[in-house]
Structure 1
């Protein structure tokens, strides 16, 4: 009876704090993703003002993704050590002035300086590596896929950015829009500090040094396989969310607002699908969800490569692709808790999240480099996406522990 009482108290505390902390973390992620992808929706404007070619525009759009990917590894490890409440506050607190700096440099029409600032703006993208271990710690084993899936919906910030950023610029002016966004990010940092709470499962857990955790995580074969799988689905989502305004402008001649609206629809579809993918992974296992994702995304990438010329045709195709990619991000990340111990989930998820970010860094560069200006075609880049989806599909059959986890077994 004496041992049952603390367990019941812990369960009650977990249940009481789950929803609030999950929703606040998801909102914090939304703001971080908005700031992280603030350059993409304005890429056509920057290109026109600075007379940039396709390659230069690709570099500018991809630059925030680079540091947002690489920095997820140490940020995930620091989350294991210091907790999500502190890390959310610090990262968002750093991001707010970086948004303002981006605005100031963007007005100077200096490509080199804007790329330099965009590199550091990528810090905003590390919020993902904070939220995965933070939210996962609040939920039982058989509901971790749901928790990480809902938190992953914070990537709706890319849709928010694509839809609202051009409109705010049109309504408030370039600097006014950035000031508002920076203020919202700063307010979110304060909210995180005041209202987020760590999971009671962290009590009494001695923080361990970062480097040994990283060594263990990098030594797992499962970590590398998941890195590859996640780099494909999340990388494709990030790449499209950032580069799609440029793609739609080049191929279908949309202006910044029109392209942003359609990109927001793409991102929103992926966001809706992500928690569904995580929840389905809890029920049927992440393997089946991931298989469906790769098969669907590969087939649709091939169709898009041939550039359907009617919006009522290519519009639904892009939305379907986003849905399959969203399912994949939820399904693949549901595998993470199975491949690592609870005390190293932050470290492992940081590495895998970094791989996802890097997966979003290279496609815009590839799209710019392989763009056939004479034929106005991105055929090569899209066929490469299909090829990598096939490789991801093969990896599903190599990685272990992809089946369904019985709730009673998980709770034992």
Structure 2
């Protein structure tokens, strides 16, 4: 056997792991010598197949154990795993080549190859793949398949395939890794405190009332007070309505304080085991969807340059006509809400202006590239928040379509009315 090509130097930044399982439906019964993985100018090879499949010119490179469904039960032949270590930014956009090599002999089978783009993988997740193999051309590329019209259909029903597991490994970006580490520390601290305080809370809420029945007597004065509070609610609402201009700043402060307290206690609750278990069904699909996008992969992992805020915003903003309309109206509503509190609202615009510019650019940069600058200017300047820049972008994108459709309907109606007039002028019935 020829000496192995020199592999890439080890790297802790990224790693591509390929487990070759089997090759199926080869052109003839010749046993392949090995399967090689070519990436970034380096080539690594497996050993020969571990066993021959019972039919269809197929060979196994891994023998299933007791449970073929369980990945961990696959007993490898000792040389069916191919590993290439390289920087993740170099691996992620690369297209690798997998080659099934046959013994060199006259009239022997030609080598078969398959290409696969690594950016189709989700980093740090194993993916099962079945790749179609094509004959290798003299230049080393894939040879175009020539269809013989006289060949039977059975030969084309089962093209040669290569079955494998592929996994691309790489680290989080430094900031994401820091957030993950801090989150684990925070959740561990909250779990420890909740476990320690659980017995105390249980004794105060369950054991103590059961041991001291007299505490239930305190419910007697509570009921009249609750009824009085309910009766006074309309009075308080009337006072607030009459003095709304004077009470509005105080009301905003109270709402902000209540929202802050609720956010603090809500964050503490979702940090506990029970809270995490309850929000997991909602958070997990959102994270999985975001992580499966190219922007999500480049945001989380060291795949190259960081994605721009506009690219990230496009992952979460709607792209349908109705969704964009609702999002645009909400953006303009938030932007004009600064008029509720003239001074505090203008201070809020300092942070909302760049956010609005990013959102408008994500939705309407294709139809109006300069609109994001208008959105930023009308938010950052005083007394210009009434300009609905986001809604204007929606009109720029979808307005011409509505106008053309309406114009077409008007023309059709004009033709119909003209025909009715001509029929009446001639003295005939419109329906004749």
Q: Do they fold alike, i.e. is TM over 0.5?
A: no
Higher relative contact order (CA 8 A, sep 6+): 1
| Higher Rg of the two aligned structures | 2
TM-score range, shorter chain: under 0.3
Structure with the higher fraction of residues in helix conformation: 1
Normalising by structure 1, what TM-score? 0.21
Structure with the higher fraction of residues in strand conformation: 2
Normalising by structure 2, what TM-score? 0.20
